[in-house]
Every structure is written in structure tokens, then in C-alpha cells.
Amino acid sequence: MNRIKQTVFLCLISCIAASITNAQPKTIPQKVDALLKRMTLAEKIGQLNQLNGDWEATGPITKDLGNKLDAIKHGEIGSVLNIVGVKHTRAFQEAAMQSRLKIPLLFGQDVIHGYSITFPIPLGEAASWDMPAIERSARIAATEAAAGGIQWTFAPMVDIARDPRWGRVMEGAGEDPYLGSLIATARVHGFQGKGLGNLDAIMACAKHFAAYGAAIGGRDYNSVDMSLRTLWEVYLPPFKAAADAGASTFMNSFNDLNGTPASANRYLMRDILKGKWGFKGFVVSDWGSIGEMINHGYVKDGYEAAEASINAGSDMDMESRSYINHLAKLVADKKVTIATIDEAVRRILTKKFELGLFDDPYRFSDADREKRVMNTPEHLEAARDIARKSIVLLKNEHNVLPLSKDLNSIALIGPLVKAKKEMKGFWSLDVGDESQIVSLYEGMQQAAGKTNLLYARGCDITDTSRAGFDEAYKTAMQADVVIMAMGERPDMTGEAKSRSNIHLPGVQEDLIKAISATGKPLVVLLMSGRPMVFNWTADHVPAILYTWWLGNQAGNAMTDILYGNYNPGAKLPITFPRTEGQIPIYYNHLNTGRPAHADNDVNYTSAYIDLPNSPKYAFGHGLSYTTFSYSNLKFSKKSMLKTGSITVSFDLQNTGKYAGEEVAQFYLRQMVSQPVRPIKELKGFQKVMLQPGETKTITFTIDKEKLAFYNDQLERITQPGEFQLMVGSASDDIRLQGDFQLL
């Protein structure tokens, strides 16, 4: 070869090499595009299809796809739910690796409050008002779930809930958009850790988009009818916070919103989520919700359901099979474009790439890691810590609590004293070892030292037999102090668990009355996933702790509080009504033209003639074994421009005998505006630890964002005028207030 020929030849080789390298997709978008080009329409539709793995169903299962493993091998399934554990997920992934393009499956699961170790129910954790602790709980759940083969949790549920009849209040953060937004952020950060691609990160899923918490009458799956202003003002903020925190996925919901089912709601998914908010992840439907639009009367069959849903922006179909059965024909009929299908597939494949599943589809399938990561001492300690932080001290007259360590005997009475697996609450998984759950009784046995523990069950949870009352009375008579563990069954809250009557069930309150008649110092622990009604107890029992469902470490956490080894600092994230007739009841309501000025003010005011307006326990309420004083409120200035800010400060002092934490709450009210504003809205809080006698100066900055709201055109605006700042220990316990002007 002469020199010229040699040079030409070398050039040719390097050009070919360069073009090959250039053609190799490098970035995730390039890889997704390259893969999309190789996919048939059927394979694309398969990616949009999510099926239940038949392990545990939360809805009706359609069994018409034959053998699921075969369907996976044919590329007809992109994701499965309800398959947990390395062994099972690996078996399914192996089937996916036999498909033509070897696209890995995504394993989704309701990891709502823990995986192997169960943490308190989300509403309970919300009562901690402790963002680092809430984030840590989600972090641990994600670490364990990822080690168990899962890459995707259907959490956090960020639905605002103002109706305790709705069984799903237990899954969320309560009634307040500000607190709910902070908790949504903490949970998304917790689940996703340092980001997808890390072995301990799983995708979060903000659900149920949107307004599911406002189901009429508190009845699950029911319709929602609300103004768009309320939607934007109250129900959307936690979703926006989840999107801003980087939630990888969203789930739409069962309800219709003003007549359009959420699963086909273009306004929610295309205009708001993917449009205005720039969400880059994907949207999954709720279980069967696309098919259920036939029952809604929104579409006449599965074909129309699939069309409405995919065009509205619902990317993945959970268990309704509308996509797998109808999308191909819809494309052939030109009702759905290939571009629409590609967009949905692209969003899903992007997440699979980000999770690293194309590099190694078995990276979440390491049996050694699965054993190593679960139930570590650090995880258990964190579970105990957040459980203590979730317990709300509703009442503590005559300092019945904390208990003295020198008592001769304590009587433990009630149907939940020895309950173990019940402590996990609804939406917990059967992955962990139930023998590790600590009941109240076991916790007390550990902590009681020389104190003699007596026990009587007394009655059942819902059964109305009083046969055990006598024995319980006699047992109480022998003790120095009585502790009663009462409540609902864990399956009385959760999905499809709405109650019209939210009283403490069965004859439990009668048993409390009977035991109270002994005259012994009495502490009642109430376990439930929702606010219950228990007026007699609230009015007559000196000490009441609301413990929700606290998870594995329940018994230890409760005894930590009972003995004062931990000083309670939790605050209610949701209003407790006096009775069902007050529902919906929430603190941040409007004033009306005829507000009742006091609970007995029924004289042509907005009131009931048979019931005060005020709740039994208000949003933000929760006591401590110590007391706090609020003083010295100062404003850096008394007026601000909307480009400016005001700094407010006050002194918080621990005036009691115990070290303790207070959640100091800041509320604002705009006195005159159009449209009108609520009588108070939480705009900030600080959780502060103080030693006895210690004082700290707390500051709070008021800026434009804190004063803004949505007008009738759904624009976020501020209006000049007078504002009131209220600082307090609860929404009904305001200790300091002052006003300022927005110029």
C-alpha cells in the first residue's frame, strides 16, 4: 500500500469508528429513543400495562391474561405489583429477560409505612411535625424494600383529608396544606434518597391525583365536587411539593372531579402536572380506575376508556387491561397517535434506565443484601423514635402522667393491651417477623421493674358483650394506677374502610366508665387510624394518649411515654370533631357573614342549636409533661412591600419541670380581601427542645409567598391590606398576636 492509499484507508477506518461511536446512545434520552425505534407497537403497549402478581390484591383481579409469566416473556407487561422478596421478583425478572428486547420489569408495591419493620401509620407520623424523623422513616422503608426487590412504592399519599369518616385519612398527613406539603417533600426525599440509580432508592408515587380526600360523605371512591380555587388552594399544594421534590411518579385516583374521572382528567394530568409543573416522570392509574370509568358513566366501554385515559395523560394502566386490550386498535383507528403512545413509553423507560435496570436487571435481587439490610438495630431504634414522636398527649389532669417508677401495681385493661400484629395498622406488609412486634403489655413488662402488672381484657373491640366487665373492675380495684388500651380494629381504617359512626366502637366507652368508677388514677390509650369520637372519656378521664397505630415498636414507644423516659411533643395534624354531625370540620375555614362568637352563640349565627361549633380537639393540639410560655412578640417593622419581608420574633420558655419539645405554630389571617380568606392558616412552625427554665428566641419571616393566595382566575396573587399574625401552641391556643400591613 502506498502512503496515499494508506492514509485514505486509515481515514476511512477512523471515520467508520467515529460514526459507530457517535451512533452509540450515551445519554438516557438517547438510549430511550434508540430502544423505542426497535420496539413494535405491541411491545410499546406492553410497557404501559401493569398487572398484579396475585400475591395480595387490593381490588378485583381480572384473570384473562393467561399465564402471567408467558405474557411477560411476550413483552405484554411492563410492571407488576404485589410481588415482594428477592426470590419472587427475580423469577418474574427472569421471564422478562426472555422477552425479545429484554426490557426489565418494574416491581411496585404499597410500601406505605415501612417494609419489613413497620413504622407508625402516616397520619401518626404526621403528628410528630418532625420532618427529619419522617424522612428517615421513608428512607428506612425504601432501603428495606429495595433490598427486597422493589423499585417503586405507591407512596406518599398526599391527599388532604377533612373528613375522618373516610378510612384513608390514616394514609396521609391530615388536613393542612402547609404541613402536608412539608411532609410530602420529606417522604419523597426519604424514598428516593440520593436519587434513582442508588441501590437503596425507590421511586416515590404521589397519590391520588387529585382531590380524592374530598370524597363526598367520606365514602371511599366517591365523587368530588369542589371549586377550582379550593382545589388549587387546599388540595394541590402537597402534590406540587411532591413534584418539586422530584417524585418519579404520580398516581391518579378513583374519584371524578366535578364530573370528569381523575383517570381521564386532561386538566389535571396534561395541563397542570405535565404542563404547568413540568413533571417528567410517569402517571399510573389507580387499580382498575381506567376500566371503572364505564361505571362512572364517562365512557361506554374499555375501548373508549383507554382512549380517554391515554389521551388525558395516564401513562400506565394498573390492572384494568384497557390499554393491553384496546390501544392497538385505537392506534389503527387513528383515535390515539403513535406520538402519544411513545410519550408514555418514553416516560416509563426513562425511569427504568435511571434505576439502572438496563445495566443489571437483577441489581435489586441480591439475597444476601436482603438478609443483611432488614431489621437492623438502627432501623428498630429509628422506628421506636418516630413512634414516640407520634404519640399525642391529649389530656393530663392532676399530672397522672408520667407514671412513678415506684408503684406497687398497675392494671392493664382493654382489648388492645396484648395486641401484637394489630400494632402494624392497615397498609402494612407481611414481610417482617411478627414475633418482633412489641405489644403494650410486653413493653410494660420490660419497663415496669418491680411494679406488679395485672391484666384483664374487659371487652372486645366491636363485640357488645359486657361479660368481662366485672373481672376488669376487680382487677382495677387491686391496682395503684389503671392503664386502658382501647380503640378500633386496624382494619377499620384504610382503603374501603369508611365509617358513618366514628365513635369508639362496641362497649368500650362503657368499660371506661365502669373502670373510672373505681376512682383509681386512670390513663386511656386510644389506638386508631382516624380521629374518633369519645366524649365521655375526654370529659372524665384525667389522662389520654392518642397512639394511632405505631408499628413494630409500639409497646416500647408507649411505655417510654408512660414512664416519662420520653416527653410527648406531638400535635394533632387533623381536627377531632365532637360528633359526626360537625363533619367536615377543619380549622382553616372562612368566617361567614354571621360567625358564632362563642360556642353558645346560636342567635341567628352560623351555628348548631344542639352542638358547639368548636371541635373536641383542635388541629395543632398536643400537650407535654412540661409547660411553655410565649412572650415578647416583636416585629422588625409593621408594614412591608410585596418585595420585602418582616421578621417576627418571640421568646419561648420551658416553665415546667421536664425537658421537652414544643411545636410553636405561626398562623396568618388577611382581614379584608377579595375573595375572602380563612380565619387562620398555618404558615410556619418550629419544633424546639428546651431544658427546664430555658428560653429561646424564635424567629419567623413573613414574605410574599406566605401572604399569597389564588384569586378567582386561579392566579396566585397578594392583596395589600391588614394581616393578623397569631403564634400559639395549637390552632385554638393562640398565645401571642399582632398585626401588620402589606402595602
- Contact between 286 and ligand NOJ per CB under 6 A: yes
Nearest to 319 by CA among 343, 335, 302: 302
Question: Which backbone phi and psi does 196 adopt, to 5 degrees?
Answer: -60, 145
| Nearer CB in complex with ligand NOJ: 488/495 | 495
CB of 555 to ligand NOJ, least distance (A): 29
Helix, strand, coil abundance in the chain, percent, nearest 5: 35, 20, 45
CB of 376 to ligand NOJ, least distance (A): 27
Burial class (CB in 10 A: 0-12, 13-18, 19+), 66: exposed
CB of 264 to ligand NOJ, least distance (A): 17
- Contact between 207 and ligand NOJ per CB under 6 A: yes
C-alpha 409 chain-centroid distance:
39
- Contact between 556 and ligand NOJ per CB under 6 A: no
| Nearer CB in complex with ligand NOJ: 154/723 | 154
| Nearer CB in complex with ligand NOJ: 429/524 | 429
Contact map string, positions 148 to 167, toward ligand NOJ, x by CB under 6 A: ------x-------------
* Residue type present at position 492: M
> What DSSP letter does each residue of 713-727 carry, written as one string?
TS-EE---EEEEEEE
CB of 109 to ligand NOJ, least distance (A): 8
- Contact between 107 and ligand NOJ per CB under 6 A: no
| Nearer CB in complex with ligand NOJ: 207/735 | 207
CB of 159 to ligand NOJ, least distance (A): 10
Q: Is the peptide bond before 210 cis (omega within 30 degrees of 0)?
A: yes
286 included as an active-site residue: yes
What Å distances lie between residue 269 and 109, 220, 288, 309, 657, CA to CA?
A: 22, 22, 18, 10, 53
Contact map string, positions 322 to 361, toward ligand NOJ, x by CB under 6 A: ----------------------------------------
Is 586 in contact with 542 (CB distance < 8 Å)? Answer: no
| Nearer CB in complex with ligand NOJ: 8/57 | 57
CB of 83 to ligand NOJ, least distance (A): 12
Q: Which of residues 76, 175, 495, 560 is near ligand NOJ by CB under 6 A?
A: 495
Three-state SS for 133-195 is HHHHHHHHHHHHHHHCCCCEECCCECCCCCCCCCHHHHHCCCCCHHHHHHHHHHHHHHHHCCC
- In the region spanning residues 688 to 717, those forming contacts with ligand NOJ, defined by CB under 6 A, are none
Rounded to 10°, the helix 338-354/322-332 angle is 140
Q: How many CB atoms lie within 10 A of CB 705?
A: 11
CB of 496 to ligand NOJ, least distance (A): 9
Which residue(s) pair with 533 in the sheet? 503
Q: How far apart are CA 460 and CA 510, in angstroms?
A: 12
- In the region spanning residues 57 to 76, those forming contacts with ligand NOJ, defined by CB under 6 A, are 58-59
What Å distances lie between residue 503 and 50, 390, 400, 413, 526, CA to CA?
A: 39, 21, 25, 19, 12
| Nearer CB in complex with ligand NOJ: 110/233 | 110
- Contact between 110 and ligand NOJ per CB under 6 A: yes
Burial class (CB in 10 A: 0-12, 13-18, 19+), 56: middle
Size of the site for ligand NOJ (CB under 6 A): 9
C-alpha 666 chain-centroid distance:
23
Q: Which of residues 129, 287, 617, 628 is near ligand NOJ by CB under 6 A?
A: 287
Helix (H) or strand (E) holding 91: helix 86-96
Q: How far apart are CA 145 and CA 107, in angstroms?
A: 10
| Nearer CB in complex with ligand NOJ: 254/353 | 254
| Nearer CB in complex with ligand NOJ: 89/508 | 89
- In the region spanning residues 559 to 618, those forming contacts with ligand NOJ, defined by CB under 6 A, are none
- 110, 220, 286, 385: the catalytic one is 286
Q: How many CB atoms lie within 10 A of CB 510?
A: 16
Show the cell assigned to 474.
Answer: 376487680
Dihedral sign of CA atoms 94, 98, 102, 107 in order: negative
For the chain, what's the residue count? 743
CB of 339 to ligand NOJ, least distance (A): 29
CB of 110 to ligand NOJ, least distance (A): 5
| Nearer CB in complex with ligand NOJ: 59/217 | 59
CB of 183 to ligand NOJ, least distance (A): 17
Residue whose beta carbon is closest to ligand NOJ: 154
C-alpha 676 chain-centroid distance:
29
- What is the contact surface with ligand NOJ in residues (CB under 6 A)? 58-59, 81, 110, 154, 207, 286-287, 495
Active site residues: 286
